[in-house]
Structure 1
Amino acid sequence: MSSVTELGQTRPRRRSADQPVSRSANRRWWDADADSYHLEHGAQLGDVDFLWCPENLREPEARLLGDVDGRRILEVGCGSAPCARYLAARQAEVVAFDLSAGMLRHAVDGAARTGIEVPLVQADVCELPFRDDAFDIAFSAFGGIPFVADSAGAMREVARVLRPGGRWVFSVTHPMRWMFADDPGPRGLTVIQSYFDRSPYVEVDADEVPAYVEHHRTLGDRIRELVAAGFVLQDLIEPEWPEDFEGVWGQWSRERGEMFPGTSIFVCRLA
């Protein structure tokens, strides 16, 4: 399904995309789409709030990070950084990074509106500019992980910058969603491809240059990458659709959410 963005019209293509290609494409995409993204989703994200997923699960209720007071925390793929500001307001020492300068511009604007500033870094999760054992907790709310070709390398990098016993929590699109059309309505209830097809989803611009890349990993893939990086999986959360929530976010909707999970949240500890 083609998309029209500030990059022009983009079209899906079946093609490979390694880490450099994925990094370049997604930096372009999120730089171009940052304004539109926040116009559409900014109200739900908030300025000082912690939303884990489109099912409207928030950290105040979920408490997946545990006690954050005085903890040194890294946000992976922060976007406009409302989660980082939420934690900073609760006495955490937070550093937030994102691949996209466009997204970080919105983070700067959010800091100006709220008066809550956190250090912001432009970086790639596969090449973190932080020393070893620098953080107590790392987390990502749909940031970074789905967009990297070398997700095993990303897990190793997060492990490197965490202290022994550190917590790593991240939310991503549930792997089984890869089988279905990216549609919140009835069309999105029909299987269109194999769960085991790990071909990346790539959109290209008018010159056939990749402009967006997303990578699929099965649940088994994710767990093996975590274990290989030295993590212990403590919980795997598949949020159910709330009875009192009628929001729609891209492919996420009540119609689909009542049938099968849209999000998986991995809760891990570094051994």
Structure 2
Amino acid sequence: MNQEYGREDGPEVPEDEAEATRRDAGDAESSRASRGWWDRNADEYQTEHGAFLGDDRFVWGPEGLDEEDAELLGPAGSLRGLDVLEIGAGAAQCARWLAARGARPVALDLSHRQLQHALRIGGGLPLVEADAGALPFRDGSFDLACSAYGAVPFVADPVRVFREVRRVLRPGGRWVFSVTHPIRWAFPDEPGPEGLSVAASYFDRTPYVEQDEKGRAVYVEHHRTLGDRVRDVVAGGFRLVDLVEPEWPDWNSQEWGGWSPLRGNLIPGTAIFVCERLDD
């Protein structure tokens, strides 16, 4: 599970030397930045967040919504024997949960170092290092596809990714992915009271970029409005079945980047899109 949950961790250069800006960033630049950032920061990420993610837990976001309870992929008993692709798998925690329920998951990630953590944890899962926009699988290889904060927020062309997911799914296949809730784009990425005042236009789609002294992107995140996301799903060949906005639970007292109980009780932090493949 390659979950970013807000930009609070270190970029390629020391944080006080990285320049944060808003500018265009295309597919190739975004992909290079994401691969490099995750390869450099995977160790720290897994150390800091591994206890919350667990080794074989399927969590959709920092609110802690668990697939065991949500059943967005379907009842746990229905997963047995299904071929499932996890995109942006990180250390493959979600894929391990799926395997424990009898599914046949494949964990895909852009970051070599994240997949090394998947190997470290173990479980004998198939691991694939590849870009979500060019999936190395035959048409109709999977029954389900899922992504918990993986790939989608970091690509310049999400429709390209969705069309690839559709291609590798069998007819009627389900595609479920979570991203930062689009409304968060208008607020500062802060967990405290300073994160409750609108600071930017929700309608400004200009990517957030951190770049080094030569202007090379070392981190890129792309914003889409809620309407954009719905239109992207449809353009990618899917029907939107459900849109889940998890509420912050009483038991969760953690802060993760800009996510916190304070903000989570007032504004949504995660959006989960439940989609089904449209037949030709």
> Does TM, scored on the shorter chain, surpass 0.5?
yes
Q: Tell me the SS of whatever aligns to 1:42.
A: helix
1:225 is aligned, of 208, 232, 239, to 232
Q: What pairs up with 1:1-271 in 2 under 5 angstroms?
A: 4-5=10-11, 7-9=13-15, 10-66=18-74, 67-111=78-122, 116-271=123-278
The 10-residue stretch of structure 1 (136-145 or 199-208) with the greater mean CA deviation from structure 2: 199-208
Any unmatched runs of 5+ in structure 1?
A: none
Q: Is the 8 A contact 2:10 2:41 kept in 1?
A: no
Letter of the 1:94 partner, please give it.
P
Q: Shift of the alpha carbon at 1:14? A: 2.2
The 10-residue stretch of structure 1 (70-79 or 237-246) with the greater mean CA deviation from structure 2: 237-246
TM-score by length of 2: 0.93
Q: Is the 8 A contact 1:159 1:230 kept in 2?
A: yes
Identical residues among aligned pairs (%): 56
Q: Shift of the alpha carbon at 1:261? A: 0.2
Matched positions, count: 267
Q: Shift of the alpha carbon at 1:102? A: 1.1
Q: Is the 8 A contact 1:235 1:268 kept in 2?
A: yes
Q: Shift of the alpha carbon at 1:4? A: 4.1
Q: Shift of the alpha carbon at 1:229? A: 1.7
Q: Shift of the alpha carbon at 1:117? A: 1.4
Q: Tell me the SS of whatever aligns to 1:97.
A: strand
Q: Is the 8 A contact 2:154 2:220 kept in 1?
A: yes
Q: Is the 8 A contact 1:3 1:11 kept in 2?
A: no
Q: Shift of the alpha carbon at 1:207? A: 2.7
Q: Is the 8 A contact 1:25 1:211 kept in 2?
A: yes
Letter of the 2:36 partner, please give it.
R
Q: 1:52-89, CA deviations, whole angstroms, 9 ceiling, x for partnerless residues? A: 11001011111111121100000000000011011111
Q: Tell me the SS of whatever aligns to 2:79.
A: coil
C-alpha change, 1:4 and 1:219, in structure 2 (3 Å) is closer
C-alpha change, 1:231 and 1:12, in structure 2 (3 Å) is same
TM-score by length of 1: 0.96
Letter of the 1:234 partner, please give it.
V
Q: Shift of the alpha carbon at 1:241? A: 0.6
2-side partners of 1:142 and 1:7: how far apart?
24
Name the Cα RMSD after superposition.
1.3
2-side partners of 1:233 and 1:2: how far apart?
31
Any unmatched runs of 5+ in structure 2?
A: 1-6
Q: Is the 8 A contact 2:12 2:212 kept in 1?
A: no
Q: 1:1-38, CA deviations, whole angstroms, 9 ceiling, x for partnerless residues? A: 99644543322022210000000011110000101111
C-alpha change, 1:61 and 1:37, in structure 2 (3 Å) is same
Q: Is the 8 A contact 1:87 1:94 kept in 2?
A: yes
Letter of the 1:222 partner, please give it.
R
1-side partners of 2:79 and 2:193: how far apart?
41
2-side partners of 1:248 and 1:117: how far apart?
32
